[in-house]
Structure 1
Amino acid sequence: MSAPILMALIWLIAANVAAMFPSRDHHWRFAYVMIAIGIPLLGWLTWQQGPIVGLLFLAAGASVLRWPLIYLMRWLRGAKGPKSS
């Protein structure tokens, strides 16, 4: 098993284990750290293993960090919408 795949699997396990514990800020601080680690890791994984493996791990990471993505989509939809009043 290559190093990028092993690191990505460790990232997924760490994100899932951390999500099981209660948090006062609803895991947002941890989500920021995981995003900061995950983006370069995903680039490395995609560069080493190809786009199919990269897309699979992108989907896995998006399922773990779904709330930051949901809030990002809501923010983008609100920012691009027509202004009323």
Structure 2
Amino acid sequence: MALAGLSSSVTFAVIWALLATVVAFLPMRWQVVPGTILLIAAPAIVIALGLQHGWLPALGGTAACLSMFRKPLAYYWRRLRGVPQ
């Protein structure tokens, strides 16, 4: 089920990016559940990209994910370390 000859990992990465863009347009209170699902799915997609295409596309996928989710990831990182809000 790949799009126009693209590998499955690239297809999933494109769909993930489109869904993340749609979620970003939602009001904040509606972003939590779909954003969490996208955040959980991201490592699997990046690993699949790395396995099918090498480390450079995986690095690009990681950079894109970190860029899109920088604030939630920073929040969870502070919470994990026990830094007060």
Which TM bucket (shorter chain)? 0.7 to 0.9
| 1:17 aligned partner | 22
**Aligned alpha-carbon RMSD (Å):** 1.7
| 1:71 aligned partner | 75
Percent pairwise identity: 31
Q: Structure 2: how far apart are the matches of 1:53 and 1:72?
A: 26
Aligned length: 78
| 1:50 aligned partner | 54
Q: Give TM-score, length-normalised by structure 2.
A: 0.77
Stretches (4+) displaced over 6 A: none
Q: Give TM-score, length-normalised by structure 1.
A: 0.77
Superposition deviation, residue 73 in structure 1: 2.3
| 2:3 aligned partner | none
Q: Structure 2: how far apart are the matches of 1:51 and 1:40?
A: 14
Find the structure with the greater CA-based Rg.
1
Does the 8 Å CA contact 2:23/2:35 hold for their aligned counterparts?
Answer: no
* Stretches of structure 2 lacking an aligned partner (at least 5 in a row): 1-5
